[in-house]
Amino acid sequence: MALIFAIETSCDETSAAVYDDQKGILSNVTYSQIEQHKPFGGVVPEIASRSQLEKINPIVKEALKQANVSLDDIDAIAVTKNPGLPGSLLVGLCFAKTLAFGKNKKIIGVNHLEAHAFSPLLEHNVPFEHICITASGGHTSMYLVQDLGKYTMISQTLDDAAGEAFDKIAKMLHLPYPGGPVIERLAREVDFQDFYHYPRGKNKTIDFSFSGLKTAVLYDLVKKNAYDMRKKQFLRPNDTQLQKEVASSLLVCITDIFKQKLALAYKQYPHVKAVTMAGGVACNKYIRKQLTEFCKKRGLSFFVPSPKYCTDNAAMIAFVGAYMLKQGKLSDYSLDIFE
């Protein structure tokens, strides 16, 4: 039996968790800074790391309290090492190293993307081998997941991430940050209809590309006299019908792109037993439903984490930390964010 304490501060969340490799997640406490970044339409790195410095101590204490354990009971401390915003990663990493040094605990540096890729296993017994789609504001990739800690990236985005496309197009429509949840809400109000049939992409390879879609939406808005390119301004902020129609067409288009790319991956790896999806975009109920149906038709199981484990969270870092501890993959105090 092993008890892992984890810290995750890669972007705009401050999260701490306790994971028991026999009983599962004992606590997962996350402070989200969304409200602080909203006025800027995206994450401001300086604000993110300052907020993390303020929050990390109380969040760590709360995670230990909720799990009803003390640091003395912990076997190892896991922490996100990269990729992420350097200032933010450093807050978590320095805090974790200090705790490990002070309490003489093992320390394990965890790759942020590996943690997302294995997050569906936090709550589900997912069979190997499977394909995992990770889609967040910073990354969109597919992995062939062979075993705990054994995975190969089979596809990535050539330009923007899927979440970034939601965020940038929401901004174009004068909608608040983050774009994904608001686009989903507006699309639901018009029953997820595909009004404008945006292009599904010229790139027929397994890799993703979303920047062309962003340009297509922009030019379509300009054509409709709804966007001023020079002033970079949406001209019909009160036209909620237009916002809903664009939102809905966009969501259907991005979902179709996921289906297309997944079909290519499945063709390449027909032996897989399941498909998973992780990262902030995996919170989207429409995408979840569509991919569930897609997989069902092909006799594949589909697994997604609960929303709190889709977005950045320390529970997924602890989960990876737990198997890395078993595999003897430990770090030392030279652990850095550029490894």
Q: Which residues bind ligand KG4 (CB under 6 A)?
A: 11, 136-138, 163, 166-167, 178-181, 184, 279-281, 283-284, 311-312
For residues 266, 142, 310, 1, the Cα torsion angle rounded to the nearest 10 degrees is 90
Q: How far is the CB of 138 from Zn ion (least distance, A)?
A: 7
Total binding residues toward Zn ion, as defined by CB under 5 A: 2
Give the rounded distance of the alpha carbon of 164 from its chain centre. Answer: 11
Judged by beta carbon, residue 28 or residue 74, the one nearer ligand KG4 is 28
Judged by beta carbon, residue 272 or residue 305, the one nearer ligand KG4 is 305
Choices 69-77, 131-139, 209-217, 292-300 (CB under 5 A): range interacting with Zn ion: 131-139
Judged by beta carbon, residue 167 or residue 312, the one nearer Zn ion is 312
Q: How far is the CB of 3 from ligand KG4 (least distance, A)?
A: 26
Residues in 150-209 that interact with Zn ion by CB under 5 A? none
Question: What is the distance between the alpha carbons of residues 59 and 13, in angstroms, rounded to a whole number?
Answer: 11
Taking each helix axis from N to C end, the angle separating 285-297 and 179-189, rounded to the nearest 10 degrees, works out to 70
Q: How far is the CB of 301 from Zn ion (least distance, A)?
A: 24
Residues in 214-253 that interact with Zn ion by CB under 5 A? none
* Residue labelled with tokens 């602080």: 36
178 binds, among Zn ion, ligand KG4, none (CB under 5 to 8 A by kind): ligand KG4
Choices 75-83, 134-142, 232-240, 301-309 (CB under 5 A): range interacting with Zn ion: 134-142
Radius of gyration (C-alpha) of the chain in whole angstroms: 20
- Identify which of 21, 9, 16 has the alpha carbon closest to the alpha carbon of residue 327: 21
Angle, CA 154 vertex, CA 151 and CA 159 arms, to 5°: 125
Letter string b/e over residues 248-260, b meaning 16 or more CB atoms within 10 A of that residue's CB: bbbbbbbbbbbbe
Give the rounded distance of the alpha carbon of 290 from its chain centre. Answer: 19
Judged by beta carbon, residue 212 or residue 279, the one nearer ligand KG4 is 279
Q: How far is the CB of 226 from ligand KG4 (least distance, A)?
A: 22
Question: What is the distance between the alpha carbons of residues 170 and 258, in angstroms, rounded to a whole number?
Answer: 19
Q: How far is the CB of 64 from ligand KG4 (least distance, A)?
A: 24
Judged by beta carbon, residue 247 or residue 272, the one nearer ligand KG4 is 247
- 136 near Zn ion, judged by CB under 5 A: yes
Give the rounded distance of the alpha carbon of 323 from its chain centre. Answer: 21
Letter string b/e over residues 162-176, b meaning 16 or more CB atoms within 10 A of that residue's CB: bbbbbbbbbbbbbbe
Judged by beta carbon, residue 117 or residue 172, the one nearer Zn ion is 117
Q: How far is the CB of 1 from ligand KG4 (least distance, A)?
A: 30
181 binds, among ligand KG4, Zn ion, none (CB under 5 to 8 A by kind): ligand KG4
Query: Which phi and psi angles does 24 have, rounded to 5°?
Result: 95, -150
Q: How far is the CB of 94 from Zn ion (least distance, A)?
A: 20
Q: How far is the CB of 98 from ligand KG4 (least distance, A)?
A: 25
Judged by beta carbon, residue 227 or residue 303, the one nearer Zn ion is 303
Residues in 299-318 that interact with Zn ion by CB under 5 A? 312
Judged by beta carbon, residue 252 or residue 325, the one nearer ligand KG4 is 252
- Identify which of 235, 116, 254 has the alpha carbon closest to the alpha carbon of residue 180: 254
Establish how many alpha carbons lie within 13 A of residue 263's alpha carbon, considering only the half-sphere containing its beta carbon: 10
Instruction: Give me the residues that bind Zn ion (CB under 5 A), please.
Output: 136, 312
